[in-house]
């Protein structure tokens, strides 16, 4: 059965195991995932091979980071009943698709991915002149295409990788979706729609191809989506024939740009591990308090009696995230009039963050005390993921002429 049809919307996303997740991840990626898992079929995975592409020299921390990250996901409410959770390297099928795609991917496409040069510049201390690093966006393409994901939630920095994925899929379909007798086969497939739907399909196809009518295209796709009892081959052919191309074996995914409410860090810059300005999801309460209390404030407020300006203070953006109107007004006015001190101003933030973290910390404790539970969730997720991958790989091998039976 074809994933595209069975699951018209399938979401896939991966995260590198970079260490404990922080509040920036919670307010950006994770809240987004929580929403998506209720709406779509979701696959979320730990991209441990991707960590190797830049950190191959120091792999000692990877395994711990992987488990910490999975616990973080589970603790914020990513639900293994709703989403399939797995670890990339435990689904080696990704590597096979990566290899097969590497055969058809021009070197120039990889060299032109902006992150290739950018990261090499930024991470000068590392030698990123490796085969693995150059190929890393293609590995990402394999991660996505092997599930026939339709939507891929990513940040701005990853959009170019989704674009590459689309190009690679198109090239693959172009090379291997053309059958010598495609037109004849397509006509046979159309017949299988039944008289009425075949007529409708042909009309819609003509309207799209002759007049570029996108609504007809969408309607015809919906028609195919709702038609039962078609073989996979027929379906792929009908989708491709509709658009005037060959079979669509690997559908092109869309980037689903993660809305980033810029979570401010402890220094006013965006919260990010590389700036060392984070509060981790499961940070000890004393640490949260200490970090906030030592946060810099408006430099003009030297003494308690000096009035301040919230717009010049890194604490203020945190109020924007955590405080309601009343607290914000209190803080803003108290600051400007020197009516409150900075520690007072920070207290509602300490409270809000501790309140936010409490259920996360409690849930994490369950998983930490019961590591087998986490192992089992991941094992099950890996099995489910592999089942999906095998289906795609079978088709890919067949299309490429290397399925031996």
Smallest separation, CB 331 to ligand SF4 (Å): 6
Q: In the range 274-303, which residues lie near ligand SF4 by CB under 6 A? A: 297-298, 301
**Using rule CB under 6 A, residue 323 touches ligand TRP:** no
How big is the site for ligand SF4, counted in residues (CB under 6 A)?
14
**Using rule CB under 6 A, residue 144 touches ligand TRP:** yes
- Candidate ranges 89-97, 113-121, 197-205, 340-348; the one touching ligand SF4 (CB under 6 A): 340-348
**Using rule CB under 6 A, residue 25 touches ligand SF4:** no
Smallest separation, CB 43 to ligand TRP (Å): 9
Relative to beta strand 151-154, strand 83-87 is: unpaired
145, interface contact from ligand SF4, ligand TRP, none, CB < 5-8 Å by kind: none
The neighbour count for residue 177, using CB atoms within 10 Å, is 20
Write out the DSSP string of 124-167: TTS---SHHHHHHHHHHHHHHHTTT-SEEEE-GGGHHHHHHHHH
| SS3 (DSSP) at 10 | strand
Residue 8 CB contacts under 8 Å (≥ 6 apart), including other chains: 150, 225
Confirm if 153 and 160 have CB atoms less than 8 A apart. Answer: no
Smallest separation, CB 346 to ligand SF4 (Å): 6
**Using rule CB under 6 A, residue 310 touches ligand SF4:** yes
Smallest separation, CB 363 to ligand TRP (Å): 24
For ligand TRP, give the closer residue by CB, 253 or 308: 253
Of 235, 231, 229, 311, nearest to 268 by C-alpha is: 311
Q: In the range 114-143, which residues lie near ligand TRP by CB under 6 A? A: 140, 143
Strands (E), 250-350: 254-257
For ligand TRP, give the closer residue by CB, 14 or 334: 14
**Which of 110, 152, 335, 382 is the binder for ligand SF4 (CB under 6 A)?**
335
Q: Which two tokens stand for residue 296?
A: 């810099």
**Using rule CB under 6 A, residue 313 touches ligand SF4:** yes
Distance, CA of 323 to CA of 104 (rounded, Å): 52
- Candidate ranges 70-78, 134-142, 232-240, 342-350; the one touching ligand SF4 (CB under 6 A): 342-350
Distance, CA of 395 to CA of 172 (rounded, Å): 12
Relative to beta strand 10-15, strand 41-46 is: parallel
Q: Which helix or strand (DSSP H or E) is residue 238 part of?
A: helix 232-243
**Which of 172, 316, 330, 367 is the binder for ligand SF4 (CB under 6 A)?**
316
Burial of 54 per CB tally in 10 Å (0-12, 13-18, 19+): middle
**Using rule CB under 6 A, residue 251 touches ligand SF4:** no
Question: Binding residues for ligand SF4, per CB under 6 A?
Answer: 297-298, 301, 308, 310, 313, 315-316, 331, 335, 340, 342, 345-346
Residues of this chain that interact with ligand TRP (CB under 6 A) are 12-14, 16, 47, 50, 140, 143-144, 152, 154, 158
């Amino acid at each position: 059965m074809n994933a595209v049809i069975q699951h018209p919307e399938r979401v896939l996303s991966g995260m590198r195991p970079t260490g404990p997740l922080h509040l920036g991840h919670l307010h950006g990626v994770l809240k987004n995932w929580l929403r998506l898992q209720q709406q779509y079929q979701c696959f979320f995975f730990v991209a441990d091979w991707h960590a190797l592409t830049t950190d191959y020299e120091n792999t000692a921390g990877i395994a711990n980071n992987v488990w910490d990250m999975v616990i973080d996901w589970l603790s914020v409410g990513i639900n293994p009943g709703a989403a399939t959770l797995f670890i990339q390297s435990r689904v080696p099928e990704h590597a096979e698709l990566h290899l097969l795609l590497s055969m058809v991917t021009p070197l120039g496409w990889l060299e032109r991915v902006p992150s290739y040069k950018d990261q090499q510049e930024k991470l000068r201390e590392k030698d990123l002149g490796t085969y693995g690093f150059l190929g890393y966006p293609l590995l990402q393409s394999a991660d996505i295409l092997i599930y026939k994901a339709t939507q891929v939630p990513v940040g701005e920095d990853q959009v170019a990788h989704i674009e590459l994925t689309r190009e690679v899929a198109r090239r693959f379909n172009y090379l291997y979706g053309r059958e010598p007798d495609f037109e004849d086969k397509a006509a046979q497939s159309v017949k299988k729609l039944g008289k009425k739907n075949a007529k409708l399909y042909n009309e819609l196809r003509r309207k799209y191809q002759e007049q570029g009518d996108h609504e007809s295209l969408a309607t015809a796709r919906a028609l195919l989506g709702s038609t039962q009892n078609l073989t996979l081959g027929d379906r792929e052919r009908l989708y491709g024939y509709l658009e005037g191309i060959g079979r669509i074996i690997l559908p092109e995914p869309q980037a689903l740009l993660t809305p980033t409410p810029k979570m401010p860090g402890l220094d006013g810059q965006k919260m990010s591990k590389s700036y060392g300005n984070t509060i981790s999801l499961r940070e000890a309460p004393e640490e949260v308090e200490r970090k906030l209390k030592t946060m810099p404030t408006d430099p003009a407020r030297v003494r308690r009696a000096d009035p301040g300006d919230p717009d010049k203070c890194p604490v203020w953006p945190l109020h924007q995230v955590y405080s309601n109107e009343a607290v914000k007004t209190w803080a803003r006015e108290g600051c400007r009039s020197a009516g409150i001190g900075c520690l007072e101003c920070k207290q509602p933030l300490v409270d809000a963050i501790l309140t936010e973290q409490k259920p996360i910390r409690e849930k994490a404790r369950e998983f930490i005390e019961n590591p087998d539970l986490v192992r089992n969730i991941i094992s099950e997720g890996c099995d489910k993921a592999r089942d999906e991958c095998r289906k795609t790989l079978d088709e890919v091998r067949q299309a490429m002429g290397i399925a031996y039976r």
